Amino acid sequence: MDFRYFFSDDTKSQIRRIPVVERLLAGVFIVLAAGFAYLQLVESPRYLDLAERNRVRLIPLVAPRGRILDREGRVIVDNRSAYSVALMRENVKNLDLSIDAIAAGLGLDRAAILDRITKFKHTPSFQPIIIKEDAGGADVAFVEAHRLEYPELEIMLLPRRNYPVNGMAAHLLGYVGDVTPEMLGSKEYANLQAGDVVGKSGVEFTYNDLLTGKDGYKRVIVNSRGREMGKLEQVDPVSGRQLKLTVDLDLQRVAEESMTDRSGAVVVLNPQTGEVLALLSHPAFDPNEFAGHMGAAQWQAIQNDPNRPLLNRAIQARFSPGSVFKIIMATAGMEAGTVTPSTSYHCAGTIMLYGNLFHCHGGHGHGTVGLHQAIVNSCNIFFYNVGKTLGIDRISYYAHKLGLGDKTGIDLPNEDPGLIPSPEWKRKVRYQPWYLGETISVSIGQGAVGVTPLQLVRSLGGIAIGGIFRQPHLVDGQQNEGITTPNSNPVDEKFDLRPTTVDEITRGMWGVVNEGGTGTRARLPDVQVCGKTGTVQVVGSGAKVKQTAGSEFGNHGWFVAFAPREHPEIAVAVIVEHGGFGGDISAPIVHEILKTYFEKKHIKPSPHVPLQLTAMPKELAVSHPGSKRVVN
């Protein structure tokens, strides 16, 4: 075999070709070294920053909002911890590949996930995007089991708003939601960032600053799978302020229960202070649903619901006051001097005024009626004459002075001012002259007159205490130490009424309930209840449709009351939409509320409030003179 080596001894031709190899290799090594020099010397700061961003993660610690309590300190709204599934954009490997599996695993809609990602497009990518709230055990298990496949998913324990069930007090409490891009642009939300939760309506909105806590954060070292390996720094979150409302949960509950399956509103006030004791609007919504990220479809459905559950009928809906307005007319007439306790008109069931035939209810008429009987029996003809004598300008003047046609200033957003028509208003808004016949309609609370239930109860309650119209409020400084609320200095309106006026009006309203008038059903055995019914005919598109209770065009039934007759401390307005006559449908609800209020006060004080035995006879003494007067 040796012969082979003979031919292979000469290596010259190979050696000649080695330098090319050497130069090639040397060149490549220099290029590589240059590559490292560029990355490690020139670009080093940039990569150090990237490495730091890999390593350190800022984890927001969300502060819980302050709790909301009722006047006795009972919790209405609090927070609960709930698991949320968050998408960490920094950890996304390939969302196109994983999104379907994630959507299926969490029971979400692919489009909804993408929608949320788009919504947070402009936020820093280290900020988690919550894609599922109130995650259940199965969701948590899914995320934990797929840590490797979907490192972009993270479980976060976040505080969530916990509202009463069944939409109780939904409109007064309001709801919270994500801060919108428009809000972020505005000054008052300047220190918020996308993903933060803010109050969107109700008390949650008005007192958002107080209720909002201060979020904390922690800076942690995380490994490539996002697991915490150590903590660098932690700033604890500070919970929001606790807010005590003037609302009495017991009254609110009774009101809610009596309004079950009914549409309308209830407002309960203390006319002496302006404290709102209960306020509700039906149909309601469930604020718990808003606490999460409501899907577009669900939001649309609520927005477009013909029953308008989001509308707070107590302060945002403009209703015709109907016969309740007669109290305003009577007060105005007596203050203007056009009506006296001895004024009487003849009611024949109909009357011709300014060329139009106006009706009373009941067909044959009330005969000759004085002021007291006119209120008790709600005689239209009497008040047509009052209105005719007063004229629209004076009606409008007194109505405004008595608290109608302007916002009450309650600490809830988007209050409606209502409307008290005047010739000037008609010229400006409708470009038409005022017809005298309209004055007649206005006299019984029809025509263009529009009021909110809150306005009406404040007005009648204010008249009952001599013409002081307290600014209604849900939160006051006395109950919330150290908090300066918008109502710490309430803007009360005073329009001193003559004692005889107050006396006569109160006596009339007492008669409505206690002398076989239209509001008999609101009567209480121990307390002198005063009230006034109202029934508003609902007119369908152009034509008067058969008015049946419960139907779409059924009458709205009003009942506005206060008690006790002397020194009233509670005023209630109830309107039931399409419910029928106010005396039939609304007076019993007022009855329930007043019964609860006075039972609680005299017989069953709240367990944790010590029995005030000395207070009892005093309260009873207040109601006695009233009952004596009835005998007179």
Partner 1 sequence: MAKRGSISDFDWWLLLAVLALAGIGLIEIYSSTIHTKYAGLHMRQFYWVLLGLGLMWIAVLIDYHYIIEHVPLLYLFGVLLLVLVMVMGQSNLGSKRWLGYGAYSIQPSEVFKLILVLTLARYFSERRNRELGWLDLFQVGILVIIPFALILAQPDLGTALTFFPILAAGLWLAGIRWKMVVTLGLAVLLVLPLGWFVLKPYQRDRLMTFAHSDADPLGRGYQIAQSKIAVGSGGLLGKGFLNGSQNRLGYVPHRHTDFIFSVVAEEQGFLGVIVVLSLFAFVIFRSIQHARTARDRYGVFIVMGVVALFAFHVIVNVGVIIGFMPVTGIPLPLVSSGGSAILTTFLALGLVLNVRMRRYVN
Tell me: cis bond preceding 181? Omega within 30 of 0 counts.
Answer: no
Minimum distance from residue 60 beta carbon to partner 1 (Å): 21
In the complex, what is the shortest distance from the CB of residue 93 to partner 1, in angstroms, rounded to a whole number?
6
Residue numbers at the binding site for partner 1 (CB under 8 A): 1-2, 4-5, 7-11, 13-15, 17-18, 20-22, 25-26, 28-29, 31-33, 35-37, 39-41, 43-44, 46-48, 50-52, 54-55, 90-94, 221-225, 229
Q: Are 586 and 512 in contact (CB under 8 A)?
A: no
Minimum distance from residue 106 beta carbon to partner 1 (Å): 21
For the bound state, the minimum distance from the C-beta of residue 132 to partner 1, rounded and expressed in Å, comes to 22
Question: How remote is the C-alpha of 398 from its chain's centroid?
Answer: 31
As given in the structure block, the two tokens for residue 517 are: 């008038």
Cis peptide before 564 (omega within 30 of 0): yes
The residue (of 48 and 140) whose beta carbon lies closer to partner 1 is 48
Distance CA 146, CA 105 (A): 10
- As a whole number of angstroms, the distance between CA 214 and CA 240 comes to 7
Nearest to 173 by CA among 8, 528, 412: 412
Query: How many Cα atoms sit within 13 Å of 515 on the Cβ side?
Result: 22
Phi-psi region of 257 (alpha: psi -120 to 50; beta: other; left: phi over 0): alpha
- Name which of 88 and 590 has its Cβ closer to partner 1: 88
Q: Supply 350's token pair.
A: 């109909």
**What is the closest distance, in whole angstroms, from the C-beta atom of residue 84 to partner 1 in the complex?**
22
Dihedral (CA of 41, 45, 46, 51) sign: positive
- 13 counts as catalytic: no
Q: How far is the CB of 230 from partner 1 (least distance, A)?
A: 10
Half-sphere exposure of 360 toward its Cβ, with a 13 Å CA cutoff?
24
Q: Which one is catalytic: 263, 323, 422, 586?
A: 323
Which of 225, 364 has the CB closer to partner 1?
Answer: 225
Q: Are β-strands 228-235 and 216-222 bridged in parallel, bridged antiparallel, or unpaired? A: antiparallel
Residue number with CB closer to partner 1 (98 or 320)? 98
Instruction: Compare residues 80 and 93 and give the one whose CB is closer to partner 1.
Output: 93
- The total of other beta-carbon atoms located within 10 Å of residue 286's CB is 17
- How far is it, in rounded angstroms, from Cα 64 to Cα 78? 9
Name which of 225 and 546 has its Cβ closer to partner 1: 225
Task: Tell me which residues are annotated as active site.
Answer: 323
